[in-house]
Amino acid sequence: MSGTGERRERHEDHEDREDREARRRRGPMSRIGDLIPDAAARLGLADELRRARAVAAFDRIVAERAPAAHGACRAIRVDGPALVVEADAPIVAQELRLHARQLADAFRSAPAGAPISEIRVTVRARGSSSGR
């Protein structure tokens, strides 16, 4: 049995050396989130990434500050000082307007937000697709 144990130890030592060597060649590890902005910029997608982050930030803010509207609205674009938001129904639009000041303040201070001063809410036309 000692022969099997010795072979296993040598195999494990060999794997450990290979792992250490592979880590040394790769260099220090980086968080994927830190790499994405540079990669997006090199691919010409920086604006699209910024927009996606802003949309996701708005979605999180709505979930927290106006939960009744969450899932029934979406940020469309920043238009000058306004964040344009689309609501699925008039009642959702009313809920967003009721919380507009808090939503705008939270979006303005969010890391992925933008320096907006107002939220402009539109109601999606019946039968139109929002791309979701």
Tell me, what's the pLDDT at 39? 77
Helix or strand or coil: residue 114? coil
> What distance separates the 2 farthest-apart alpha carbons in the chain?
77
Tell me if 89 sits within 8 A of 55, measured CB to CB: no
Give tens-digit pLDDT for 16-51.
777 777 666 676 777 877 777 777 678 887 787 788
User: Domain map of the chain by residue range?
Assistant: 32-123
Rounded Cα–Cα distance for residues 125 and 86 (Å): 10
CATH label, 32-123, candidates 3.40.50, 1.10.260, 3.40.1440, 3.30.300: 3.30.300
Tell me, what's the pLDDT at 97? 97
**Helix, strand, coil percentages, rounded to 5, for the chain:** 60, 15, 25
H or E segment and range at residue 46: helix 46-65
Tell me if 88 sits within 8 A of 82, measured CB to CB: no
Sign of CA dihedral 130, 104, 119, 37: negative
Give tens-digit pLDDT for 66-116.
999 999 999 999 999 999 999 999 999 999 999 999 999 999 999 988 899
